[in-house]
Amino acid sequence: MEHIGGFGTGIVIVALQSFPMGFKLTKFADDSDPISARDIQPFGYRELYDGNIFTFSQTAPVEVSVAIIPNSEDDINLKILLANKKGGLSLFPFDDITSMVLTYPDKGRTVLSHGSIISGPALDSIQSTGRRKSNVYKFVFASVTGAQSKKQLIAGGIQTVLGLLG
């Protein structure tokens, strides 16, 4: 039986300028998906005038959303990271290359690098129930490495060895 539980998943974010030592995210929201990633499209296609299709490689950024409990230390750190990217009258956004390391409960680890925070709330919103709404922050990354489970790591190693032999 496969282990599909997410309890115990952790995230570490490192931003070269804002948080060079990094910080952990542990205060995930319970009213929204705590971690979600959009599908990537590494290939594109165009339909040709004769009815055939033409396929091509294209950039495939990895977009990850993280929902955090409002007013937690994690939320404050993410708001600082977001504010450092926001331009203003006397504030210049500086290049802050961000990396994210996701550690899954079965010890799988995925490293997302060469990225940036791209959106998030400037302030907390209140739901109609009177509760603060979870804050969702979006990141985009250029590359992803690692394995989400030990099985995937072993399979990747075997595939690499077979590729070298063939």
- pLDDT for the residue 96: 79
SS (H, E, C) the chain: CCCCCCCCCEEEEEECCCEEEEEEECCECCCCCCEEECCCCCEEEEECCCCCEEEEECCCCEEEEEEECCCCHHHHHHHHHHHHHCCCCCCCCCCCCEEEEEECCCCCEEEEEEEEEEECCCCCCECCCCCECCEEEEEEEEEEEEECCHHHHHHHHHHHHHHHHC
- pLDDT for the residue 95: 72
- pLDDT for the residue 129: 86
Residue 114 φ/ψ region, left for φ over 0, alpha for ψ in the -120 to 50 degree band, beta for the rest: left
What does pTM read for this prediction? 0.79
Per-run averaged pLDDT (10 residues), the chain, 166 residues = 72 90 92 90 90 91 95 94 73 76 85 93 88 94 76 59 62
- pLDDT for the residue 3: 62
- pLDDT for the residue 166: 57
- pLDDT for the residue 101: 93
d(CA 4, CA 162): 29
Query: Phi and psi dihedrals of 83, rounded to 5?
Result: -65, -35
Closest CA to 123 of 88, 76, 89: 76
Structural domains of the chain sorted by starting position, each given as residue range(s) with its CATH number in brackets: 10-165 (2.40.30)
- pLDDT for the residue 107: 77
